[in-house]
């Protein structure tokens, strides 16, 4: 009998796209798959041949709200509470719908912002497998990347006041203790769970513990969907944490440069790509900085609008604007990448062997931006709120005139191409299901082999 896997995620394109890649691999290996996420991604999911289930909400509309821009650029204390309440409503609705989605599933694979799936799996008597896109599990080896030794800001991810990226290593005990910040963040995603357990699932209140445990306090199998060549596993992690490699989505749309883009490419040197991801905050300021920096630098660029809303007012012929394009294809036509430091764009730029400069905003973006610098593939990151036309122009010149960046990026790309993240993830999913069914508990033989 064909086994069915339910997948749940809520977020931006960077949260959804890796799960589409996983779903495609599951299908190729004989599984039935349904992917649940917000309704604005239905066309994207089904367009890649994956069954879609709406978890409600519209993330793009939510992020477009003016309160987000005000919270990030003006006052988190004033604007964050309303946003957090509305975010909770989205999560509560998603939990109810995920329960419906999972009724005929043999396992649930979920992102760490949908931890209600742990409770749904408990109620259904099936295994739950968590996915993260950054190293969230506590370790003595380095502190949590959201920790800067300062009080927690009310807006859930605005912890980092200084332009640091990867937190400097502290005393091992302090490193481990720094993950209380992560637990405070995770409590936001966990808030709907008790109500769901009691009201919909008929379960007892959950035991308290880290987000990386199930309702009985046992370690969850957690798939870390990023490259061990970029961020290796700490030696003190449990073997239930597996770094699989990045879940790379191959483009199946047949995307090719438009005629006007081809014309632009043919008129001069290879351009640099600039795009700040799905976050809309400060779009006009960002556009002005980019336009002035490009004029000062004098080079050619492709600028992505996307959700980030970048729209320079006056576009010279050295700039080509592009709405949306698969990064895996687009990056073949550029010589370097300037981006927000999200895990997905970071990995895609490195797969393409392109030097990268990160302009991070929050959460894990500074972490990946610093790793790009430490790997020798680009200049040190500059936080978006610290970005100016002058330091962006300087970074562009550095990218353009430092051959060592390109050599390091090309060498790293060869390592990444040897990794097979989605197939290894499916191996772990298969063994998790088999062991759960055989033992009712976990005794995983594959775990730890990848990382």
pLDDT at 442: 47
Instruction: Name the average pLDDT for the chain.
Output: 83
Is the pLDDT confidence value at 81 over 70? Answer: no
270: tokens are 């290879």
CA-to-CA dists, residue 82 to 29, 77, 151, 160, 185, angstroms? 44, 10, 21, 22, 17
H helix or E strand, kind and range, residue 26: helix 13-28
| CB distance 193 to 119 below 8 Å | yes
pLDDT band at 373 (very low <50, low <70, confident <90, very high): very high
Q: How far apart are CA 321 and CA 315, in angstroms?
A: 8
- For 222, the 3-state DSSP assignment is strand
What span, in angstroms and rounded, lies between the C-alpha atoms of 331 and 275? 12
Strands 107-111 and 51-54: unpaired
The arithmetic mean of pLDDT across residues 55-70, rounded, is: 70
Q: Are 273 and 301 in contact (CB under 8 A)?
A: yes
The 8 Å CB, 24+ separation contacts for 179-187 are: 179/138, 179/143, 179/144, 179/147, 181/144, 181/146, 181/147, 181/152, 182/136, 182/138, 182/144, 182/146, 183/210, 183/211, 184/152, 185/146, 185/156, 185/157, 186/112, 186/115, 186/210, 186/211
What does the pLDDT read at residue 305?
Answer: 74
DSSP state of 219: B
Predicted confidence band at 73 (pLDDT cuts at 50, 70, 90)? low
Tokens of 40: 């604005």
* Predicted confidence band of residue 242 (pLDDT cuts 50, 70, 90): very high
Report CA torsion sign: 328, 252, 94, 213: negative
Res 83: pLDDT: 66
Q: Any idea what the Cα angle at residue 68 is, between residues 62 and 74, rounded to 5°?
A: 170
At 431 the pLDDT is 94
User: In terms of Cα–Cα distance, which of 354, 309, 362 is closest to 327?
Assistant: 354
Read off the pLDDT of each residue in 141-146 and give the average, rounded to a whole number: 76
Rounded Cα–Cα distance for residues 222 and 210 (Å): 13
One-character DSSP codes across 243-266 = E----PPPP-S-----HHHHHHHH
Domains present along the chain, CATH in parentheses: 4-246+419-439 (3.40.50.2000), 259-416 (3.40.50.2000)
Handedness of CA 118, 193, 135, 336 (dihedral sign): positive
* N-to-C CA span, the chain: 31
The most confident of 177-186, 239-248, 366-375, by mean pLDDT: 239-248
Q: Each residue of 408-444: pLDDT tens digit?
A: 999 999 999 999 999 999 999 999 999 887 665 444 4
pLDDT interval class at 216 (50, 70, 90): low
Tokens of 342: 């999200």
Confidence band for 274, pLDDT divided at 50, 70 and 90? very high
For residues 82 and 356, which has the higher predicted lDDT (pLDDT)?
A: 356
Q: How sure is the predictor about 279, in pLDDT bands with cuts at 50, 70 and 90?
A: low
Residue recorded with tokens 């492709």: 302
pLDDT band at 38 (very low <50, low <70, confident <90, very high): very high
Q: Are 196 and 92 in contact (CB under 8 A)?
A: yes
pLDDT(168) > 80:
no
Query: Which is higher by pLDDT, 207 or 234?
Result: 234
Confidence of residue 162 (pLDDT cuts 50, 70, 90): very low
Q: Which has more pLDDT, 357 or 449? A: 357
31: pLDDT strictly greater than 90:
yes
Q: How confident is the model at residue 61 (pLDDT cuts 50, 70, 90)?
A: confident
What SS3 class is residue 49? coil
What is the Cβ-side half-sphere exposure of residue 163, based on CA atoms within 13 angstroms? 10
Once rounded to an integer, what is the mean pLDDT over residues 173-182?
78
pLDDT reported for residue 278: 62
Helix boundaries (H) for 312-441: 327-330, 343-351, 365-374, 389-401, 403-416, 421-439
- The confidence score (pLDDT) of residue 145 equals 72
Position 307 scores a pLDDT of 46
DSSP 145-173: TT--SSPPPSSTT----SS--SPPP--HH
- State yes or no: pLDDT of 106 exceeds 50: yes
Mean pLDDT across 391-397 = 97
Residue that wins the pLDDT comparison between 170 and 302: 302
The better pLDDT of the pair 189, 333 is held by 333
User: Rounded to whole angstroms, how far apart are CA atoms 305 and 321?
Assistant: 7
Give the Cβ contact number of residue 420 at 10 Å. Answer: 15
What lies within 8 Å, CB to CB, of 362 at 6+ separation is 72, 157, 158, 160
Instruction: Look at residues 13, 420, 10, 435 and name the one whose alpha carbon lies nearest to residue 225.
Output: 420
pTM: 0.87
Q: Which one is predicted more confidently, 149 or 323?
A: 323
Count CA atoms within 13 Å of residue 275 on its CB side: 28
Cα angle 138, 17, 42 (rounded to 5 degrees) comes to 125
Q: What number of H helices and E strands is found in the chain?
A: 16, 12
What pLDDT shows up at residue 322?
87
Element (H, E) at 7: strand 4-8
Mean per-residue pLDDT for 28-52? 96
The CA distances from residue 97 to 43, 89, 93, 163, in Å, are 19, 13, 6, 39
Q: Could you tell me where the DSSP H helices lie in 105-149? A: 116-124
Average pLDDT over residues 149-159: 33
């Amino acid at each position: 009998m064909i086994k069915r896997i339910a997948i749940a995620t809520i977020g931006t394109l960077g949260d959804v796209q890796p799960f589409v890649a996983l779903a495609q691999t599951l299908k190729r290996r004989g599984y039935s798959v349904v992917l649940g996420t917000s309704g604005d991604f239905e066309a994207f999911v089904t367009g890649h041949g994956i069954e879609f289930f709406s978890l409600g909400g519209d993330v793009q509309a939510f992020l477009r709200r003016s309160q987000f821009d005000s919270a990030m650029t003006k006052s988190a204390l004033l604007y964050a509470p309303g946003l957090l309440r509305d975010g909770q409503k989205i999560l509560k609705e998603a939990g109810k719908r995920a329960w419906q989605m999972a009724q005929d599933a043999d396992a649930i694979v979920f992102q760490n912002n949908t931890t209600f799936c742990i409770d749904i799996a408990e109620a259904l008597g099936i295994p739950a497998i968590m996915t993260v896109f950054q190293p969230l599990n506590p370790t003595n080896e380095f502190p949590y990347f959201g920790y800067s030794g300062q009080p927690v800001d009310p807006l859930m991810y605005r912890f980092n006041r200084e332009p640091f990226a990867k937190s400097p290593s502290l005393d091992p005990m302090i490193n481990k203790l720094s993950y209380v910040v992560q637990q405070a963040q995770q409590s936001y995603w966990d808030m709907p769970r008790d109500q769901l357990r009691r009201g919909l699932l008929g379960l007892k209140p959950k035991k308290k513990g880290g987000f990386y445990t199930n309702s009985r306090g046992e370690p969850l199998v957690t798939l870390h969907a990023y490259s061990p060549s970029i961020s290796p596993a700490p030696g003190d992690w449990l073997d239930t944490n597996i770094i699989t490699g990045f879940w790379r989505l191959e483009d199946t749309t047949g995307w090719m440069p438009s005629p006007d883009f081809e014309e632009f490419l043919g008129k001069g040197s290879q351009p640099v790509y600039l795009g700040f991801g799905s976050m809309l905050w400060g779009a006009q300021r960002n556009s002005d900085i980019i336009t002035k920096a490009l004029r000062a630098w004098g080079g050619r660029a492709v600028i992505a609008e996307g959700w980030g809303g970048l729209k320079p007012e006056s576009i010279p012929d050295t700039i080509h604007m592009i709405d949306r394009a698969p990064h895996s294809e687009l990056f073949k036509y550029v010589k370097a990448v300037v981006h927000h430091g999200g895990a997905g764009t970071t990995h895609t730029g490195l797969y393409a062997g392109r030097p990268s400069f990160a302009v991070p905003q929050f959460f894990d973006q500074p972490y990946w931006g610093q790793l790009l610098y430490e790997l020798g593939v680009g200049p040190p990151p500059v936080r978006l709120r610290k970005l100016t036309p002058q330091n962006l122009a300087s970074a562009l010149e550095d990218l353009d005139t430092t051959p060592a960046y390109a050599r390091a990026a090309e060498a790293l790309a060869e390592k990444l191409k040897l990794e097979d993240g989605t197939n290894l993830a499916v191996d772990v999913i298969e063994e998790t299901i088999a062991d759960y069914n055989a033992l009712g508990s976990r005794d995983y033989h594959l775990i730890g082999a990848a990382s």
